[in-house]
Structure 1
Amino acid sequence: MTNETTSLTYNLGGDLQINRLGYGAMQLTGNGVFGEVADRDNAIKVLQSAVEQGVNFIDTADAYGPHYNESLIADALHPYKQGLVIATKGGFNRPGPNNWVPNGKPEFIEENIEGSLKRLKVDAIDLWQLHRIDPKVPVEETLAPVVDAVKAGKIKHVGLSEVGIADIERVQKVLPIVSVQNLYNLGERKWEDVLDYTTQNDLAFIPWYPLASGPHTLAEKIEKIAAKYEATTAQIALAWLLKRADNILLIPGTKSISHLAENLKAAEIELTEEEFEQLSA
């Protein structure tokens, strides 16, 4: 199912009007998403260029670096342009490169929230997302400091990441959420049911790793469609996601200013119903 005309904006949480093609900052870190980015000056230019080109939704996390990514965003963009929405996440320990350990202990989550506020230089986080539900800690306990932070005005909206429908419904009993960030792209659609659920329940769906252009079986079809639009396969993959559902917010990441401009141009591609169906098959 798709909408016939694709809206390029989305109202997140009822009060944040954002452009659906945003930017994911994870790549602006060291190898294995660990440590400082190799070329900091370039990273700052990429972030500034994104905002100059109309991006007003940037996704980061306490765990990227850890900590370095949030500080980089503040160094590049603070004081923030009016309307710029910065989403961050908490709930991962980072013992080393490519090493991600869920930590849902309430004191750790509280530390994440306070650290993000400081590093991003904000009084309130626009969207705070639980990076993962820790199987060792009841999610109600994990979220207790999040509930407190919302009440204190330190967090405006809350989201989840890599969750199923049952997880979403369990969390909704604790506090309202406005978004779900799961792995989803042209070639990986295991969260199709969650995407449909978010669409029906007016929640944003933020696919991570959105640039993957799918299995080899799709290669020929994508190349043919890309040639018609004089586009790259990555642009077609993003255009397919934009058409898939109006609540999908895209956060492709890159360290390159030219790739950034290329990704943002995907918003200009309106696939036909037939092309969409060919790629969805």
Structure 2
Amino acid sequence: MSEHTANLGHATVNRIGFGAMQLAGPGVFGPPADPERSRAVLRHAAASGVNHIDTAQIYGPDVVNDLIREALHPYPEGLVLATKVGGARDAQGGWLPDGEPASLQAQVEENLRSLGVERLDLVNLRRFERDLPGADQPALADQLGALMELRDEGKIDMIGISNAHLDTVREAVDLAGVVCVQNAYSILDRTDDAIVDLCRAHGIAFVPFFPLGSAFLAGGGPKRLAADEHVGAVARKHGVTTSQVALAWLLAQYERMLLIPGTASVAHLDENLAVGEIVLDAEDLARLDKVAPAG
């Protein structure tokens, strides 16, 4: 295994994958204006060696999975398609919890149908405990139990956990042997340092979303990165963008940190994939440690 690859459960994937969410229409709702452009991005990703694509039936909904199937089926050998369950969309595109065990199983069936596969490589259980603190949610054991039944039936290969607190991740490891955690994490938001440490201790992959900081931050994550003197200095040293530095910083944190930056542009995709060639030295990392967390 090279420095450019890592284990995702029992699979070996390139550490820079692709998040397909942005291939849907604005707000991840409805179809894109140019579906063929989206399919071209997916084909370019696969041709460039991307073998970890993150998706979900609720992206659109009923849009992104169809684009992936149209662009890439029959799928290249070794491609890991990761999807997630636990949420739904309302008529205006709002995100809603939908995590009852029977619904999770129905969502798995929808993902199987739309992706055109008999088994899903990886299913992440999306929790809403961070979005809706204090709200009633189905018991984690019941949710994981429903997914484990489908794993036993051969409809799911691996299970992960998403948007979860430390105690939830710990319980998911114990109950279901989850292979990855998908939470918000970036140089601007290190709230989940303890969860990264837990993943490191158990050899579990960590897959950060909002890798450039949430777009909901004041000024937006990429704009804050561009304005940061420390990130800017490292970017100038290496002749790269501040966003590329932020992604390279993530790779340097943990050997099983797997990136899934999303884009609807082939040129931007190539820029993201080039991050794997950036080697941050101790001086760079010490300087980047001075970046003030947002919020």
For residues 102 and 251 of structure 1, do their structure 2 counterparts lie closer, same or farther at Cα, with a shift above 3 Å needed? same
Letter in 2 for 1:58: I
TM-score, L = length of structure 1? 0.93
For residues 216 and 114 of structure 1, do their structure 2 counterparts lie closer, same or farther at Cα, with a shift above 3 Å needed? closer
Following the alignment from structure 2 to structure 1, what is the Cα–Cα distance between the partners of residues 92 and 279?
39
Unpaired stretches in structure 2, ≥5 consecutive residues:
130-135, 214-220, 291-295
Following the alignment from structure 1 to structure 2, what is the Cα–Cα distance between the partners of residues 143 and 253?
27
Task: Name which of 28, 44, 52 aligns with 1:57.
Answer: 52
Letter in 2 for 1:168: V
1:164 aligns with: 165
1:202 aligns with: 203
Task: Name which of 244, 250, 254 aligns with 2:263.
Answer: 254
Unpaired stretches in structure 1, ≥5 consecutive residues:
1-5
For residues 217 and 12 of structure 1, do their structure 2 counterparts lie closer, same or farther at Cα, with a shift above 3 Å needed? closer
Letter in 1 for 2:46: V
Following the alignment from structure 1 to structure 2, what is the Cα–Cα distance between the partners of residues 265 and 96?
38
Query: Residue 188 of structure 2 contacts residue 212 of structure 2 at CA under 8 Å; is this kept in 1?
Result: no
Following the alignment from structure 1 to structure 2, what is the Cα–Cα distance between the partners of residues 164 and 20?
24
Secondary structure of 1:64 counterpart: coil
> What are the equivalent positions in structure 2 for 1:59-208 lying under 5 Å apart?
59-133=54-128, 135-208=136-209
1:12 aligns with: 8
For residues 75 and 140 of structure 1, do their structure 2 counterparts lie closer, same or farther at Cα, with a shift above 3 Å needed? same
For residues 173 and 223 of structure 1, do their structure 2 counterparts lie closer, same or farther at Cα, with a shift above 3 Å needed? closer
Letter in 1 for 2:186: N
Tell whether 2:264 aligns with 1:244.
Answer: no
- 1:199-227: CA deviations, max 9, x gaps? 11111000001134674697112112111
Secondary structure of 2:83 counterpart: strand
Task: Name which of 266, 269, 279 aligns with 1:270.
Answer: 279
Following the alignment from structure 1 to structure 2, what is the Cα–Cα distance between the partners of residues 280 and 96?
43
Following the alignment from structure 2 to structure 1, what is the Cα–Cα distance between the partners of residues 202 and 175?
17
- What number of residue pairs does the alignment pair up? 275
Following the alignment from structure 1 to structure 2, what is the Cα–Cα distance between the partners of residues 97 and 44?
25
Letter in 2 for 1:10: A
Query: 1:61 Cα shift?
Result: 1.1
Following the alignment from structure 1 to structure 2, what is the Cα–Cα distance between the partners of residues 97 and 28?
18
Letter in 2 for 1:242: L
2:240 aligns with: 231
- 1:113-133: CA deviations, max 9, x gaps? 001011111111111001225
- 1:81-108: CA deviations, max 9, x gaps? 1111110001101004551111111121
Higher mean Cα deviation, 159-168 or 91-100? 91-100
> What are the equivalent positions in structure 2 for 1:7-46 lying under 5 Å apart?
7-13=3-9, 15-46=10-41
- 1:53-106: CA deviations, max 9, x gaps? 111100001221112111111111000011111100011010045511111111
Query: Residue 225 of structure 2 contacts residue 242 of structure 2 at CA under 8 Å; is this kept in 1?
Result: no
Secondary structure of 1:159 counterpart: strand
Query: Residue 33 of structure 1 contacts residue 97 of structure 1 at CA under 8 Å; is this kept in 2?
Result: no
Query: 1:38 Cα shift?
Result: 1.7
Query: 1:192 Cα shift?
Result: 1.0
Query: 1:144 Cα shift?
Result: 2.7
- 1:210-247: CA deviations, max 9, x gaps? 13467469711211211121111111111111111111
- CA RMSD across the alignment: 1.7
TM-score, L = length of structure 2? 0.89
Following the alignment from structure 1 to structure 2, what is the Cα–Cα distance between the partners of residues 233 and 133?
31
For residues 276 and 151 of structure 1, do their structure 2 counterparts lie closer, same or farther at Cα, with a shift above 3 Å needed? same
